[in-house]
Amino acid sequence: MKTESQIIEKEDISSLNFPSYSLNKTPEEKRELKRKLRNAQILGNIHHNKIRIIFRDETDTREVRTTVWAAGEKHIVLKGGVSIPIRRVVDIRL
């Protein structure tokens, strides 16, 4: 999936607005995203590796390069306590 995105700093994410609806994904795309999130969390907690998270807020596709500390059912928690709703994540690039 090729997506043009605006790179932002993780500190700017808290000022964004996220719609309450999910992006349109197939069941296979959802499974693949969950797998990537698990791997991103492992890389973040054990190796402190930064990954690329591409997501959509209410206006744009954005990208942040940061460490994932936790991935729950509804949110990704980044280093510094910032979170992104999983329903708005386009892709994770390790």
**Residue range of the domain that includes 87:** 6-93
* Percentage of the chain modeled with pLDDT above 90: 87
Would 1 be classed as within a structural domain?
Answer: no
Q: How many domains does the chain contain in total?
A: 1
Q: What is the CATH number of the domain that holds 50?
A: 2.30.30
Would 43 be classed as within a structural domain?
Answer: yes
Question: What confidence tier does 93 reach under pLDDT thresholds 50, 70, 90?
Answer: very high
pTM (predicted TM-score) = 0.92
Q: Would the pLDDT of 1 be above 60?
A: no
Token output for 89: 């994540």
Would 77 be classed as within a structural domain?
Answer: yes
Alpha-carbon span 28 to 31, nearest angstrom:
5
CA distances from 69 to 45, 89, 93 (A): 6, 16, 15
Q: Would the pLDDT of 9 be above 60?
A: yes
